[in-house]
Structure 1
Amino acid sequence: MMSILYVLGGVVLLISTATVCVKQSRKCSVEEAVIEVTMYLVKYIVQPTRWICREVWKALFGNSTLPEEYPTHLGLNGNVLDEVTVEKECTDLIALFKFCRCVSCKVQPSFYAYYFSVILPENISNEDESYKELVQKVAEKNVAEHMRLYGNPGSKDAADLVLTRLFKDHLEVYTARNEAGVQMIAETKKQMRLALIKAQRREEGSVVIEEVWKKPDSNRMVWAYDRDTAYDFQMKLPVESEIDSHCHALITGSSGSGKSVALLFLLGKRLQADPDTCIYVCDFKNSADFRFLAKKNYPYYFAGDDCQCGVMDFYERFNAARQSGETGRRFLLVFDEYPAFISRLQMQDKQEKTKKAGEVLNMVSEILMLGRGIGFGVWIVTQRADASLFSGGSRDNFMVLLALGRLSREQKGMLFSGEELPDRVYQPGEGVILLDGREVEEVKLPWITDMLGWKKQIVCTLREHFGGNAGSAD
């Protein structure tokens, strides 16, 4: 007992001496000297000792019995909050507001909670979802930079470790300390997302049907769900067809009508129905929606001017199949922003005296007219489906016409000539579909609950059917 008292006495004497020295040398108050000594002890003694103990614990007992703590403690030295450090580390976050400073911090077993006072810019509302998303991204960037400087959380992404909530007069930032905090943040984000869906549903007077990845019961292609059934019963009644009988699809809609999300949904449904489909994706605008394929080095993803190579490669396969009579594996060309691509080629033709646009138009038209019999399909996504984009009247060869959002009278006449269309204003993700041999139907595209998971399943399916390596050709 006496030994313990001697040790404690020695520690108190050491800290007192250090405090006096700091006070004299820095000409500061006793409180400031105590804080500086405490920060020094935490940084150079407590934290290294804690790290050594953790590594010893891992070596002796493994990782399962001691939770891993992620370096997300912004501005903290132990349990002492250094507001200057917080402001330094959160510079970008604070710059978003006219006035912002950290007023308090709470250390919980699973997470750190920071509370900032804020004054929003005049043109920004605290209900602005795009602004909230911006704040979230900036907070993620700050956490990622902090982790880079002070440690590595392994495979954890900054997006998994941070949660922000923007209120009328303050901002709350939560950073996970361990796996329990990660789970808490994930669950809270899910609840916030569901609350947003319900709020949008009330505001728009619409209904939301959700979609998760699952194995299909048959190899039929699901194009959308019946709109009336979704509104009346909150149920999904699929509008579907045989893959081979409806292999060509024309997807149209104005900006903001939900074409990109619809295309991701349809790609997933196609791979669920026929995982072995060889899909060429041409994304002329190089949008963020499909860049996940580029990150995985998928060999049949083409962006920008490379789309011309994609069409030519697909056409060469089509020609080879025609000559050999091959009818085994199905092939699909998916082209987003097709009119902008053709316009770009036409401009190059004028400058370089070439005929690239005409060659591509002829290739696509030939596939539309002859591809069905040998398993080659084309999906074209466009805001306007002008006849000039499809030489030789090949536009009539689309077996699926999916129009989202509001259509102009001209578009209705071009695509649905002779059909009686409902007189209705559609929400994003809603519209009409005309399947060859049927009548026009009103449809609704679902809300993909886990978009990152949906994209991951698309990549995994493509990889699986490229021999486990999406970077190699079949």
Structure 2
Amino acid sequence: MMMKCNTSFNLGIDNKALSRGFVLPLKVNCKKTPHILLCGSTGSGKTYALKYILKQLAISNSLIYLCDYKGIDFIAMQECERYYKHQNVSEGVNTVFDLLQNRMENPTLDNQACFLVFDEWSGFLASVPKKQQEEFKQKLASILMLGRGVGIFLLLAMQRCDTTNFLSGARDNFGVALGLGRLSKESARMLFSDEADLIEPKPRGHGYLRVDGQPTVEIVIPKIRDMSITDKVIKNALCE
């Protein structure tokens, strides 16, 4: 019998609570609020945050597909079956899209939670011809709109969020918006809409979080005590 996956995990710590001397974890449950959009420029702590989340997904028995377009920050995973880098990231998207179709055609109540984690979506799109861009945007839109019902979730990371990277309406299916560091005006508007004017530049590992349309809160990504252990846990999950 398949082990049940825990789709609830921490994204970070409430900064306001931390300033008052106590730790308040900021949790999200993807079954209730699916799909995460993470934005942060170079030096914002975006990759660090990804690893913090990935470790939790790994120990929760989730099925993880990691697409790393830059092929640098997750190089320790390069021998794993479900790790894709550079142009091979297209294979990762296609694999999860096919899994989506299969689960919809063969419904079951025992679907293992699956996460497509894609680092640098905008960079990948810019590297392929326009026709292929539209094809991959369509596949991403299908995962965003239909994935929750069959236990497939998306964690998309970009240096700069832009509406041109999505089909019209698709981005509205992100239930969680996480912005770190110094966000551009365009990124702030896309992530936090009506509260964009309140967004201020933050240091590395600090930023803003909005879950399911609720008021935006300031967030801090906790320190990872031993990155080598974190990488090992993630690698084991990707290689299983």
Answer whether TM exceeds 0.5 for this pair.
yes
- Determine the C-alpha separation between the residues in 1 that align with 2:196 and 2:90: 37
- Determine the C-alpha separation between the residues in 2 that align with 1:420 and 1:387: 15
Indicate the residue corresponding to 1:323 in structure 2: 105
Is contact 1:432–1:443 with CA below 8 Å preserved after alignment?
yes
Q: Would you tell me which structure has more helix in proportion to its own residues?
A: 1
Shift of 1:426: 1.3
Indicate the residue corresponding to 1:256 in structure 2: 43
Alignment map for 1:66-465 (pairs within 5 Å):
220-233=8-21, 235-272=22-59, 274-275=60-61, 277-287=62-72, 289-294=73-78, 297-327=79-109, 328-346=111-129, 355-419=131-195, 422=198, 424-460=200-236, 462=237
Query: What value does the CA root-mean-square deviation take over the aligned residues?
Result: 1.8
Is contact 2:160–2:184 with CA below 8 Å preserved after alignment?
no
Is contact 2:30–2:153 with CA below 8 Å preserved after alignment?
no
What SS class does the counterpart of residue 378 from structure 1 fall into?
Answer: strand
1:225 counterpart letter in structure 2:
I
- Determine the C-alpha separation between the residues in 2 that align with 1:256 and 1:375: 32
2:52 counterpart letter in structure 1:
F
Is contact 2:7–2:113 with CA below 8 Å preserved after alignment?
no
Is contact 2:188–2:199 with CA below 8 Å preserved after alignment?
no
Kindly tell me: are residues 416 and 315 of structure 1, through their superposed partners in 2, closer, same or farther at Cα, counting changes over 3 Å?
A: same
Gapped regions of structure 2 (runs ≥ 5): 1-5
TM-score (norm 2): 0.91
Is contact 2:58–2:64 with CA below 8 Å preserved after alignment?
no
Shift of 1:421: 5.9
Kindly tell me: are residues 281 and 240 of structure 1, through their superposed partners in 2, closer, same or farther at Cα, counting changes over 3 Å?
A: same
Query: How many percent of aligned residue pairs carry the same amino acid?
Result: 31
What SS class does the counterpart of residue 417 from structure 1 fall into?
Answer: helix
Q: How many residues align?
A: 234
Is contact 1:365–1:392 with CA below 8 Å preserved after alignment?
no
- Determine the C-alpha separation between the residues in 2 that align with 1:396 and 1:318: 19
Shift of 1:293: 1.3
- Determine the C-alpha separation between the residues in 2 that align with 1:391 and 1:416: 19
Is contact 2:9–2:56 with CA below 8 Å preserved after alignment?
yes
Shift of 1:373: 1.1
- Determine the C-alpha separation between the residues in 1 that align with 2:164 and 2:141: 11
What SS class does the counterpart of residue 362 from structure 1 fall into?
Answer: helix
2:214 counterpart letter in structure 1:
R
Shift of 1:416: 1.4
Is contact 1:421–1:440 with CA below 8 Å preserved after alignment?
no
- Determine the C-alpha separation between the residues in 1 that align with 2:19 and 2:120: 31
- Determine the C-alpha separation between the residues in 1 that align with 2:108 and 2:74: 30
Shift of 1:457: 2.2
2:16 counterpart letter in structure 1:
D
1:276-327 Cα shifts (integer Å, max 9, x gaps): x11100001101x211111xx2111000111111111111111101111234
Task: Say which is worse superposed, 242-251 or 427-436, in terms of deviation.
Answer: 242-251
- Determine the C-alpha separation between the residues in 2 that align with 1:330 and 1:440: 27
- Determine the C-alpha separation between the residues in 2 that align with 1:244 and 1:254: 28
Is contact 2:41–2:159 with CA below 8 Å preserved after alignment?
yes
What SS class does the counterpart of residue 391 from structure 1 fall into?
Answer: coil
Kindly tell me: are residues 411 and 420 of structure 1, through their superposed partners in 2, closer, same or farther at Cα, counting changes over 3 Å?
A: closer
Is contact 1:387–1:393 with CA below 8 Å preserved after alignment?
no
Kindly tell me: are residues 383 and 357 of structure 1, through their superposed partners in 2, closer, same or farther at Cα, counting changes over 3 Å?
A: same
Q: Which has the higher contact order (CA 8 A, sep 6+)?
A: 2
Shift of 1:437: 4.3
1:290 counterpart letter in structure 2:
F
Indicate the residue corresponding to 2:3 in structure 1: none
Shift of 1:420: 6.3
- Determine the C-alpha separation between the residues in 1 that align with 2:204 and 2:193: 23
